[in-house]
Each structure stands twice: as C-alpha cells, then as structure tokens.
Amino acid sequence: MFLGIHLLCVRPLFELAQGIPLLKAINAMEPAVPWFWWTILVIMAACSVLSIAAGALLFARRKPSTVKIVHLALWLAGPIAGAVMLAVTLWARNLPLTSLLDTSAPATFLRSMLAATGWTLYLAFSSHVKVRYGAGRPAGD
C-alpha cells in the first residue's frame, strides 16, 4: 500500500518540487542550449508518468506482471534516469566526471539505488506480495 501511494502521489510531487527549480537553474545557466533543458524535462516527465502508471497498477491489477512492471519503474525512474540526467549534464556543460564529487549527486544517486534495491527486495521476497499478486505462480496472466 505504501509503495503504491509513494509511486502514485509522492514521487511525482517530489519530481515536480525538485524539477521546477532545476529547470529554472538550467535555463539561467544555459539559455543558449535549449535541448539540454528539454532533455531534462522529458526525462523528469517520463519518470513521473512511469511512476504514476506503476502506482496505479499496484492498486488495480493483481497479476505477477504487475510486480515486474513496478520493478522496471523503480529502476528506470530512479537510478537509471538519475544516471542519464547526470551524464547529459556533464556532456552539455562539458564537465569532467570528477566535478560530480563536489555536488550532492553521489549521495542522491546512492539514496536512489538504496530505495530501488530495498523495494526490489521487498517485492521479491514478501509473502504479502506473493499472495496479493501471485508472484511465483505459473505464467498465464
């Protein structure tokens, strides 16, 4: 239940709260590079849509494939999207990889990895998830 609410509501609101200041900062720093702003916006919007869809599926669809989709959403909209945004930022601003060490990026990425790993383990080993979504039963959903 908590994961569904988190994916459906909390995570998209967090993306919005973090994304608006980030996009304003990008626009102020790099007004001549509009593709950079649009790339970050598209990644953040895709993460929000993926998160909302996964959260809605947790409440609406009780099949083993739901758990697989949530796994995918956790990793794509979390650490993978974060790594892509960092790579785009480094490339757009022509920065060395070591410049990330002076920012909050390593801690943010680690937090994202820990959250995705924790939820992945919960979804994989929870008896509640196995009962509710039929994870582990033969394919046929």
d(C-alpha 94, C-alpha 88), whole Å: 10
Tell whether the model's pLDDT for residue 31 goes beyond 70. yes
Higher pLDDT, 100 or 7: 7
Q: Would you say residue 138 lies in a domain?
A: no
Q: Would you say residue 41 lies in a domain?
A: yes
pLDDT, position 140: 52
Number of separate domains in the chain = 1
pLDDT, position 121: 96
For residue 61, the SS3 value is coil
Cβ distance 58 to 2 under 8 Å? no
pLDDT, position 97: 83
Q: Would you say residue 17 lies in a domain?
A: yes
Higher pLDDT, 42 or 100: 42
d(C-alpha 117, C-alpha 47), whole Å: 17
pLDDT, position 138: 53
Q: Would you say residue 141 lies in a domain?
A: no
* Each residue's pLDDT tens digit, 93-141: 888 888 877 788 888 889 999 999 999 999 999 999 999 998 655 555 5
Per-residue DSSP letters for 54-90? HHHHHHH--SHHHHHHHHHHHHIIIIIHHHHHHHHHH
d(C-alpha 7, C-alpha 70), whole Å: 9
Q: Which of 135, 117, 116, 113 is nearest to 126 (CA)?
A: 135
Q: Would you say residue 83 lies in a domain?
A: yes
- Full residue range of the structural domain in which residue 67 is found: 2-133
* Each residue's pLDDT tens digit, 50-87: 999 999 999 998 899 999 999 999 999 999 999 998 88
Q: Would you say residue 139 lies in a domain?
A: no
Higher pLDDT, 19 or 48: 48
For residue 78, the SS3 value is helix
Q: Would you say residue 140 lies in a domain?
A: no
